[in-house]
Structure 1
Amino acid sequence: MSEVIPFRSVSLHDQVAERLRSLIFDRQLAPGDFIDEVTLAERWQISRTPLREALKVLVSEGLVEPVPRRGCRVIEMTATDADELFPIMAMLEGRCAFEATQHATDADLRELRRLHDELERTAAAHDVDGYYQANHGFHSFVQRLAGNRWLDRVTADLRKFVRMLRGRQLILPGRIDASINEHRVLLAAMFERDAARAERAMHDHLLAQHAALKTLRKIESGDSVQAEPHPFAKEASSA
């Protein structure tokens, strides 16, 4: 019998793929950028083989696209992409909040409070990048608390594309203040063990992100617009 070679827990190309994702999500590789395989291989001191294997993974995930004779470039999320994606994410993350509220232990709620406190801190400082990072951690934790592997699978897959937008809507004047109010409503519902209210709060929070992004796009295009108030703004401000 031939010698059995043990599998490594994480292959090199998986590690490279994760590093590429981080560069994309942090916008060190911006939408539309071509990936310089030679430079990255030299910087990371690897051959181009695991890099190319990693790029195949990212192509299959939809984060990069191959261009004949030019290599791979980071995809660009269009306004239509956002219009189609956010309503779906609102449904999925709403369901995550519903199931998380049902399953959360007291210890889970304490951790959720800790994550929310970080949101409060960065919101008070109007630290857009810090708030974006804290917000991603909060939403990811709610997703894990749901404990539904099928919901987790589809939500995690689509969340990658939301991350491609990297919280651009947060630079809209007043958006961080509105967002933290939406989080307060969500947190209150979860602490009161009101799963249906938590689901609505999360759903409306995602749609508010989309509305803010649309308003920002119009402003950047030179259109004169007035942002529509969030449908639950009164409830949020009184939370």
Structure 2
Amino acid sequence: MSDASQLLPQRRNALYQDVAERLREKIYDYELLPDSWIDEPALAAELGISRTPLRESLKLLAAEGLVQMEPGRGCRVVKISLEDLAELFPVMALLEGRCAFEAARKLGAGDLETLEAIHAELEAAAAAGDIAAYYAGNYRFHECVQTLSGNRWLIRATSDLRRILKMHRGRQLLAPGRMEASLAEHRILMDCFRRRDPDAAQRVMAAHLEDQGLALQRYVAEGGRLHAPAPLPGARAAR
């Protein structure tokens, strides 16, 4: 059995929470494939832990919608269909739209500077044609807007869905022309934040999320794979 101190982050939370974070990474990186059964003894041995914290972590991931517990059979990674994503993106559009509304309403000078800095990274990544860097910057931008909303209930609901969409959201950038279109949408959104216009920010952000969903559908329709390892090179940097 491996030394847990070498495999798990330095503990600040309960052990099962650290284990859950490791399992999320494995799911997002497709080390644990969608619809695959989780080999609990092998995973516990790999992480150098007992089955008890592993099972507690799996219960946490089940509550987040990343795995499914099946009594008498075990636990497997959830497989999200394109139809599921078509239903999830409009819900996410409502939530992130509201995040943008609240953020624009409460935005301070320092907050705007933070958004400007991240947006500059998006501009640079798009100019370089670096999809992985754009994905990482885009993730930070949306996370920042969510935080700036300052509404803990909204942040909680949005975070729950972000965990599910994270496996697939970046793939929409693989659709031809999508990165450029996304940047154009971000430019309009930044203008809303500069003007501190909550209503416009909400509309633009909601439309941005809906366009992400449509781009993902186009990507799949044109032969892209929804469930495959490493959707974007370097995408782990977004976490």
TM-score, normalised relative to structure 2: 0.83
Please state if 1:186 is matched with 2:212: no
Equivalent residue, structure 2, for 1:38: 41
Structure of higher CA gyration radius: 1
Equivalent residue, structure 2, for 1:141: 144
Matches within 5 A, 1:149-188: 149-188=152-191
Measure how far apart 1:66 and its partner are: 2.6
Name the SS for the 1:66 alignment partner: strand
Q: Which amino acid aligns with 2:196?
A: R
Deviations 1:28-63 (A, max 9, x none): 323223323233322322122211110111112211
Equivalent residue, structure 1, for 2:222: 219
Instruction: Choose between structure 1 and 2 for higher RCO, CA contacts under 8 A separated by at least 6 residues.
Output: 2
CA contact (8 A) 1:98 1:199 kept: yes
Measure how far apart 1:145 and its partner are: 0.2
Alpha-carbon distance in 2 for matches of 1:35, 1:18: 15
CA-based RMSD: 1.8
Name the SS for the 1:207 alignment partner: helix
Residues 129 and 35 of structure 1, relative CA distance in 2, 3 Å threshold: farther
Structure 2 gap ranges (5+): 1-10, 225-239
Matches within 5 A, 1:1-239: 10-67=13-70, 70-220=73-223
Q: Which amino acid aligns with 1:161?
A: I
Deviations 1:93-123 (A, max 9, x none): 1110011011111001111111112222222
Measure how far apart 1:9 and its partner are: 5.7
CA contact (8 A) 1:25 1:166 kept: no
TM-score, normalised relative to structure 1: 0.83
Moved more, 120-129 or 94-103: 120-129
CA contact (8 A) 1:23 1:29 kept: yes
Large movers: runs of 4+ above 6 Å: none
Moved more, 28-37 or 103-112: 28-37
Residues 34 and 119 of structure 1, relative CA distance in 2, 3 Å threshold: farther
Name the SS for the 1:184 alignment partner: helix
Residues 133 and 38 of structure 1, relative CA distance in 2, 3 Å threshold: farther
Identity of aligned residues (%): 50
